[in-house]
Amino acid sequence: MWAAVAAGFLAAGAGCLIRSEYEKNHFVAEELRITSPKIYREKKLVFLTDVHDKEFGPSNERLLHAVRRLSPDAILIGGDLMVSKGRGRLDASFRLMKGLSDLAPVYYSLGNHEMRLREEREVYGSQFDRLLDKARQLGIHMLIDEKAALDEDTDVWGIDLPRVCYKKLFLEKPEKMPEGYLQQKLGRADGERFQILLMHSPLYFSEARQWGADLTLAGHFHGGTVRIPGLGGLMTPQYQFFLPWCAGTFLEEGRVMAVGRGLGTHSINIRFNDLPQLLSIRLAPGDAVTVQEGKL
């Protein structure tokens, strides 16, 4: 009997690993439609985050083909294009940056892996400088505590979160953002224009709302790695369990946060019930703020 039980567990484990390998190599495109009185003209954006050197086909041709089919007005990158832990190679990131910049204007904000390249120069040397130089060559807007005007009614901001915001928490309460951090780093949000904030960690949605972000775009948590129906994501990279903000869309006080599941993995190299995600965002005029999610 015990042999049969053990064999059953081994078969189930093997099935989960096979499914995980499949998921890591098959992303899905999903759509989020937001209306707002601040939007005068409908526009389509593509948001991607946490690529972590993942390539879907040679030079990421499958991903780039999917972005091309969406015909975005702009492409927003939420950070962590690369894996910096002990590696910091940028070849895959540069190929993707080049491919995306050929399709639409690109706006790129830092994640914790880019931050590590910048702050641990004794390990990574000039890699962060190379990243900035490549972005400049390609015309990519690197938003490091700054904004760019997307069009006549919308601004895109990028916030460089401090290292303490990425602290490994081990079931403790989330580390608080330093008081007034967004105001100090970004200045005032323009209440007359639609404000998009690229903020890699979703833990600080409350601070983003208070600052004035109409739409906060985050990632970092890879969807929770393993998604359990009814419970959500199992574990974040900061070792929090069943955190509600691992992925999905949240509407509070007329402000929206969309948390992408990301496209790659790194240290915990599995996905289960957690397909990589490419997110298409439609912003449209409306009398009130509404949110509608869908498949593409």
pLDDT higher than 80, residue 149: yes
Domain interval for residue 97: 2-295
Residue 141, phi-psi category: left (phi > 0), alpha (psi -120 to 50), beta (remainder): beta
Beta bridge mates, 277: 28
Average pLDDT in the 192-200 region?
Answer: 98
The string of pLDDT tens digits covering residues 45-104 is 999 999 999 999 999 999 999 999 999 999 999 999 999 887 778 999 999 999 999 999
Ranges of H-type helices in the chain: 2-24, 61-70, 91-101, 112-119, 121-124, 127-138, 181-186, 205-211
Between CA 200 and CA 205 the distance in angstroms is 11
Residue 171, phi-psi category: left (phi > 0), alpha (psi -120 to 50), beta (remainder): left
Read off the pTM: 0.93
Tokens of 194: 């639609």
Maximum CA pair distance of the chain? 70
The tally of domains found in the chain comes to 1
pLDDT of residue 28: 94
pLDDT of residue 177: 86
Share of the chain above pLDDT 90, in %: 70
The set of residues, in sequence order, having a beta carbon less than 8 Å from that of 235 and lying 6+ positions away, is 224, 225, 226, 241, 268
> At 11, which CATH number?
3.60.21.10
